[in-house]
Amino acid sequence: MKSVLIVDDIPSNRKIASVILKKNGWHTEEVDSGIAALNRDDLAKFSHILLDINMPDLDGMETCRRLRAQSALQHLRIVAYTAHALEHEQCEIMTTGFDTIVIKPISVQSLLAALEG
């Protein structure tokens, strides 16, 4: 089953992504921070992580670096989602280990395309 952990500090952003994905056959779970994501002991059960870039406790780029450092999580497709649409910002985000980026506001098509990559 396609499963995604949605990581975002804003509840409405998590809800929008979750509703879109559930309607398209995905299993979703949500957490509100990078720290909460990293503290889960079941991360390996997910096939994907949708990771917000701007979060107050630990930003998405550092969270991605830490996820990529764990050998048991190399299978994860990690998708950044952010309002930072400038090319140099996207380049910086990609250097931290993300597979792709979705620019907010997300659409059904852009989210599904990024996850199914």
**Span 17-44, mean pLDDT?**
97
Rounded-to-integer distance, Cα 6 and Cα 18, Å? 7
- Banded pLDDT at 84 (limits 50, 70, 90): confident
Rounded-to-integer distance, Cα 73 and Cα 21, Å? 21
- Banded pLDDT at 117 (limits 50, 70, 90): confident
Superfamily per CATH, domain 3-116: Response regulator (3.40.50.2300)
Which of 54-85 are b and which e, b meaning 16 or more Cβ less than 10 Å from the residue's Cβ?
A: ebeebbbbebbebbeeeeeeeebbbbbbbebe
Instruction: Give me the pLDDT at residue 1, please.
Output: 78
> What pTM, to 2 d.p., does this model score?
0.96
Every domain of the chain and the residues it spans = 3-116
